[in-house]
Amino acid sequence: MKNSFRIFATCDMGDSINLLRSRGYDVEVYPKPEAPPKSLILEKVRSGIDGLLTTLRDPIDAEVFAAGAGTLKVVSQIAVGFDNINRADANKYKVPFTHTADVLTDATAEFAFLLMGSVARRMWNAERLLRENQWGFWHPYLPFLGDEVAGKTIAIIGTGRIGLSMIRKCSGFDMNILCYDPAYQNHDFVQGIQEIKDLIFARGLVKEKSWIKYVELTEALAQADFVSVHVPLLREGESKMPTYHLFNETTLRTMKPTAYLINTSRGPVVDEQALAKALREKWIAGAALDVYEKEPLAADSPLRDPAIEDRCRLYPHFASAARITRLSTDPTKGMAGRCVQGLIDVLECNYGGDITKMPYVVNKEAFGG
């Protein structure tokens, strides 16, 4: 079947774009690696495109939906987080938008897991020592030591898809696990993990018993050696339990001075001024971050303070940046494939044209779902 839909993609998505073209779609791809200016997105939407392929860098709000009133049929985002898309505005204009949940779950959790090693085992500091030719001797404790990850206690903040995947990885390292999530608690999953922990202890495969349980936030923060954040960005008014600045002076002070904070969720979940202070004044031992309040990270960010660089690992929103995860055209494996499939579902009226049945559409409530 040939289609004549017009699409604007705010960035290239590899072979998945060709897949659309092979189906007859007229696809224009913004050629630069940076995000296009909003004025260009508005211009394209106003010109009557049927679908918009977006990234988390694009602000998709009432202005965009108004510009596409009567013509824009779908916004398809290559990310699971959609805090850049105003859901209320999408609903008002009855435009379905899709995201790429699941296919990046394990890659993101794996990255969060590896960040614990990078900051706690001081991987960056150790490699820099060698590269700067400062490795003069082997010594029991000089020039510095790191902290082990295995067997420690971790708090998982947000037990959705990525939080649960992180739990599986942490249980492989015999960690004790404190779970916190005020909106969704998967007790069956937690019980399954506990059964595995009990089994490997009973079979003599580990020396110490380890455990997992749901607790309140304060208990999770006060007891954990690592705190890993897996929540969506929810601002005031968007949720009864907003996550904006969930990590602030108060919550950071609740953590142990020996604990590490890992954030692969969204930057504004952490108050960066407060975190920089926490690191400078050693309220916590360290932090590893993948996301920032403003991206890319500003040259004058307090997180770049040389006084805290040995305790603060910084990565460029990289957690899902693995080859298959990002670019596979298979919608069950890759973000690009799933993003494009979400667009196809809506435009080609898959699922009998019933938007509430389309698996990648987020705002089903606007269509009676």
d(CA 159, CA 229): 9
- In sequence order, what are the beta bridge partners of 8? 28, 52
Phi and psi for 220 in degrees, rounded to 5? -60, -50
Site membership for ligand NAD, residue 104 (CB under 6 A) = yes
Q: Is 286:276 a contact under the CB 8 Å cutoff?
A: no
**Helix spans in the chain (H):** 15-22, 38-46, 62-67, 87-92, 105-120, 123-131, 161-171, 187-202, 217-223, 249-254, 272-280, 323-327, 335-347
Which of 169, 197, 266, 313: binder of ligand NAD (CB under 6 A)?
A: 266
User: Distance between alpha carbon 252 and the CA centroid of its chain, in Å?
Assistant: 20
Give the interface size with ligand NAD as a residue count (CB under 6 A): 34
Name the residue nearer to ligand NAD (CB basis): 194 or 239: 239
d(CA 312, CA 320): 20
Per-position x/- string for 166-205, each x denoting binding to ligand NAD as judged by CB under 6 A, each - no binding: --------------xxxxx---------------------
- In sequence order, what are the beta bridge partners of 178? 155, 213
Annotated catalytic residue 266: yes
**Amino acid symbol at 108:** T
Site membership for ligand NAD, residue 316 (CB under 6 A) = no
Shortest distance, position 46 Cβ to ligand NAD, whole Å: 29
Name the residue nearer to ligand NAD (CB basis): 44 or 230: 230
Stretch of residues binding ligand NAD (CB under 6 A), selected from 35-43, 115-123, 124-132, 158-166? 158-166
Cα–Cα distances (Å) from 45 to 10, 84, 153, 346, in that order, read 11, 17, 49, 17
Which of 36, 51, 68, 158: binder of ligand NAD (CB under 6 A)?
A: 158
Residue tagged active-site, from 99, 122, 245, 266: 266
Site membership for ligand NAD, residue 334 (CB under 6 A) = no
Site membership for ligand NAD, residue 319 (CB under 6 A) = yes
Site membership for ligand NAD, residue 80 (CB under 6 A) = yes
Annotated catalytic residue 317: yes
Q: With H, G, I as helix, E, B as strand and everything else as coil, classify residue 77.
A: strand
Stretch of residues binding ligand NAD (CB under 6 A), selected from 58-66, 87-95, 100-108, 122-130? 100-108
Catalytic residues: 266, 295, 317
Q: Contact residues for ligand NAD (CB under 6 A)?
A: 80-81, 101, 104-105, 108, 157-163, 180-184, 230-234, 239, 241, 243, 264-266, 290-291, 317, 319-320
